């Protein structure tokens, strides 16, 4: 484990609630599914995917997280149990507004966010715009630059698993990025190799997939639409240097979806940097380590 010395931060209140599902209607009429569970510091979970939903985290890590936090499990607009906007607006600005409207609807003054994978981009975009409501961020195997993650890890590692020869076609920028990305995903799925990109063991991806069977009428709209928005493809690593709230940045040395060296360009001033010998999904495959990382983070500050 590597650490960077952290500055202190003061917490304002503790939030208590009983478990409940909520339907929050945003200012543009979109219905969001939110599950609130646990006692303690309020924490908004921002899932990745894009489009993975929040339910699986509740299944695999809820028992631990809900002992430490008042968890707000949100399915983002166009995902899972949430509805989609009539005007098709899935922009980052609109997502950020959703998060603020959820906070206000729940009567929360300040909170943490916890992001996984693509959720790191959402966290950073939100924190840039609303630093005054942020107590801290827990970032678990998050990318702050999707193009960098693809170029330095996704493309070369997937090509290695597939036995593709050099020069790697997935690095040919004359072809649109998501065409190259989609082709790799297709080949990995065809060869039953997709699990290698994000998991240590093939059974883990089957455990994940089984959680989706619990939810009927899954909404896939955001995952099918986000590529239309250039704002998600920006490099958010530069913004990290300007955000001074406490940050736990947890990264896996076998996380080929983000890249095990992606952490090197992350510059949060008050950061606990945590290296783990794990894949993209420590919530399933290395739960004791992610628990230890969060415990250490909470002990490092007088929250």
- Mean pLDDT for the stretch of residues 172-187: 96
User: In sequence order, which residues have a C-beta less than 8 Å from that of residue 160 and are 6 or more positions away?
Assistant: none
Q: Strands of the chain (E only): list them.
A: 15-16, 20-25, 31-37, 39-46, 69-75, 111-117, 134-142, 247-252, 271-276
pLDDT confidence band for 201 (50 / 70 / 90): very high
Burial of residue 275, with CB atoms counted within 10 A of its CB: 0-12 exposed, 13-18 middle, 19 or more buried? middle
How far from chain centre, in Å, is Cα 221?
A: 18
* CA nearest neighbour of 121 among 98, 92, 99: 92
The answer to whether residue 6 scores a pLDDT higher than 90 is no
Domain over 15-145+199-300 is classified CATH 3.30.2350.10: no
pTM over 0.85: yes
- Mean pLDDT for the stretch of residues 35-42: 96
Whether the upstream peptide bond of residue 196 has omega within 30° of 0, thus cis, is no
The answer to whether residue 10 scores a pLDDT higher than 70 is no
Q: Are 249 and 272 in contact (CB under 8 A)?
A: yes
β-pair partners for 137: 113, 247
**Structure confidence at residue 303 (pLDDT):** 81
Domain ranges of the chain: 15-145+199-300, 146-198
Dihedral sign for Cα atoms in the order 230, 232, 233, 239: positive
């Amino acid at each position: 484990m590597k650490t960077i010395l952290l500055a202190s931060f003061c917490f304002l209140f503790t939030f208590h609630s009983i478990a409940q599902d909520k339907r929050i209607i945003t200012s543009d009429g979109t219905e969001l599914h939110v599950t609130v569970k646990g006692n303690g510091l309020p924490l908004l979970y921002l899932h990745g995917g894009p489009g993975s939903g929040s339910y699986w985290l509740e299944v695999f890590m809820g028992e631990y997280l809900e002992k430490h936090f008042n968890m707000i499990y949100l399915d983002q607009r166009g995902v899972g149990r949430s509805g989609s906007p009539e005007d098709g607006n899935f922009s980052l600005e609109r997502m950020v507004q959703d998060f603020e409207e959820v906070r206000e609807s729940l009567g929360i003054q300040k909170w943490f966010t916890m992001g996984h994978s693509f959720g790191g981009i959402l966290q950073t975009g939100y924190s840039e715009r609303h630093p005054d409501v942020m107590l801290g961020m827990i970032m678990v195997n998050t990318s702050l630059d999707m193009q960098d993650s693809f170029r330095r890890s996704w493309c070369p590692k997937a090509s290695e698993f597939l036995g593709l020869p050099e020069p790697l076609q997935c690095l040919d920028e004359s072809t649109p990025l998501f065409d190259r990305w989609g082709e790799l995903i297709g080949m990995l799925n065809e060869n039953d190799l997709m699990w290698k990109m994000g998991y240590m063991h093939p059974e883990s991806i089957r455990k994940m997939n089984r959680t989706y069977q619990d939810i009927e009428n899954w909404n896939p709209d955001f995952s099918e639409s986000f590529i239309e928005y250039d704002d998600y493809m920006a490099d958010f690593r530069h913004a990290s240097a300007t955000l001074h709230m406490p940050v736990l940045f947890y990264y896996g040395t076998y996380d080929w979806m983000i890249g095990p060296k992606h952490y090197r360009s992350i510059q949060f001033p008050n950061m606990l940097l945590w290296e783990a010998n794990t894949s993209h999904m420590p919530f399933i495959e290395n739960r004791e380590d992610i628990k230890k990382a969060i415990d250490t983070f909470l002990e490092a500050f007088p929250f």
